[in-house]
Structure 1
Amino acid sequence: MVLKMKILSVESSAASCSVALSDNGVLIGEEFTNVKLTHSETLMPMVKNILDNTKTDIGTVNVFAVSNGPGSFTGVRIGVAAIKGMADGVGKPCCGISTLETIAYPFFDRNCVVCSLMDARCSQVYTALFENGKRLTPDSAMLISELADSLKSIDKPILFAGDGATVTYEKLSDSFDNIILADAQNRYQRASSVAFLTEKYINSGKLPVSANELLPVYLRLPQAERELKKKKELKK
């Protein structure tokens, strides 16, 4: 059974920030920025713009969705907190979508393996593989050298997408003849992909959760916590 739904989605897991509104599978509004402003400054004004420009009452939104990680700890936290607050305020459910799957979504119909990549710094990336709209590997954090080892067995074209795609491509392109860099306009995740994936999951039976149940997905500890943990281990 296909459910009818209006979805407000946000994506703030990296440098760019976007907000989208879809109605029964049709995108009716999206706003995207990639500027040197913090998401705490831009996100909620963008939400207001979308609602105002589409003449949508927030109370008519059926589901609130967000890319809930992995990604920038601050960005993921801001996006999740915003969606939880809006959903709780009008008593509606939430849906968290993997940022890496959000990156891959525009390429689901490509005849290739999509390698979603987010820069995790220190020569590491957050990554996952997809093909024909299906997930091949779980979201994970790994060294670029470890990723290279995992890609050696793939004999199909591999498309790199995400904010970690360029740096990874530059490091691996001499060693692989089957990797492709996604075009710039589709390389970064967008809130519209979050909305479409949310509708896909709900119509396939995955139920949204309450605002209290929605959680960020970090894959690893924030840097401050990693440094604190290291200091504690050195003292043992």
Structure 2
Amino acid sequence: MKILALESSALACSACLCEDDFPIAQFYENSGMTHSKTLLPMAEELLKHCGVSLGDVDVVAAAAGPGSFTGLRIGVSAAKGLAWALDKPCAKVSTLEAMAWNLAALPGQICPVMDARRSQVYNARFSSDGEAIRRLAPDRAIGLEELAAELETEGQPQILVGDGAQLCYNDFIKRGLKVRMVPPNLRFQNAWGVARAALDQAREGRLIPASELTPDYHRLSQAERERLARDKEKGE
């Protein structure tokens, strides 16, 4: 099964072509360039260099959230556009689950964290047996205090991954929690994890049509929060 996966949920941007869980090729960029300029050309060049047409692809997958509102819209829109033309099924993948899959070879508890600002992180928790991952907590936006309390109760060492790893490490070490960070080459999102999560969805019959592929933001945008605040003031 050939899977084309796209990841643009944060600063890094990548596209990956896999045959089941075997990576055929991956393009990755973390240069600060806008994903609207890089992601779709990246995917098109990836297929071209591999001698694979879009018609040969069985599944189009995208990291659907949480993450940057703009980045998620770009990635989901690109995946929808590629899939819709040839009626390809899609996989709507949790950004956090995809990050955990990248560390599946490390036995233990995996704690993906993305900086959500305002003293919060986007987070989920997983365990790995060295081959596959199992979800321990849902995707959510959670305060550092609340997450630290949860990990303290859990009492197990945690492997931190994601652009919020350094933030959480600095805070949690001061609290005496048993945490460690993966090195930078494994720390940030990449499209292979998206493809691996998509493979499970395909095997379990959970793929969706392109028309149903939408982002999962997990939190209101700043504009929406400001609008609600203004409406509340008017109501008072």
1:31 Cα shift? 0.3
Map 1:139-154 to 2 at 5 A. 139-154=139-154
Partner of 1:212: 211
Contact 2:152 2:177 in 1 (8 A): no
RMSD across aligned positions (CA): 1.1
Pair 1:64-2:56 in alignment: no
Tell me which of 13, 30, 37 is aligned to 1:34: 30
CA distance in 2, matches of 1:223, 1:155: 35
1:201 Cα shift? 2.5
Q: Which amino acid aligns with 1:153?
A: T
Partner of 1:104: 100
CA distance in 1, matches of 2:170, 2:144: 11
Q: C-alpha offsets along residues 190-213 of structure 1, whole Å, 9 cap, x if unaligned? A: 10111111112321x132100111
1:36 Cα shift? 1.5
Give SS of 2:138's match: coil
Higher strand share: 2
Give SS of 2:214's match: coil
Partner of 2:39: 43
Q: C-alpha offsets along residues 48-105 of structure 1, whole Å, 9 cap, x if unaligned? A: 1101110111111111001100000000110000000110011111001100011111
1:154 Cα shift? 2.0
Partner of 2:162: 162
Rate the CA distance shift 1:177–1:221 in 2: closer, same or farther, 3 A: closer
TM-score by length of structure 1 reads: 0.95
Partner of 1:136: 136
CA distance in 2, matches of 1:158, 1:221: 28
Q: Which amino acid aligns with 1:147?
A: L
Pair 1:125-2:125 in alignment: no
1:217 Cα shift? 0.4
Map 1:2-13 to 2 at 5 A. 5-13=1-9
CA distance in 1, matches of 2:104, 2:127: 7
Q: Structure 1 unaligned segments of length 5 or more: list them.
A: none
CA distance in 1, matches of 2:153, 2:185: 29
Tell me which of 19, 22, 30 is aligned to 1:23: 19
Contact 2:102 2:192 in 1 (8 A): no
1:224 Cα shift? 0.7
Give SS of 1:91's match: coil
Q: C-alpha offsets along residues 150-208 of structure 1, whole Å, 9 cap, x if unaligned? A: 111122211110011111111221112411111111011110111111112321x1321
Partner of 2:111: 115
Give SS of 2:15's match: strand
Aligned residues: 231
Partner of 1:228: 227
Q: Which amino acid aligns with 1:31?
A: F
CA distance in 1, matches of 2:73, 2:200: 24
CA distance in 1, matches of 2:47, 2:71: 22
TM-score by length of structure 2 reads: 0.95
CA distance in 2, matches of 1:178, 1:112: 12
Q: Which amino acid aligns with 2:48?
A: D
User: What is the aligned-residue identity percentage?
Assistant: 40
Q: Which amino acid aligns with 2:85?
A: G
Give SS of 1:198's match: helix
1:23 Cα shift? 1.7
Compare 84-93 and 192-201 and name the one that shifted more: 192-201
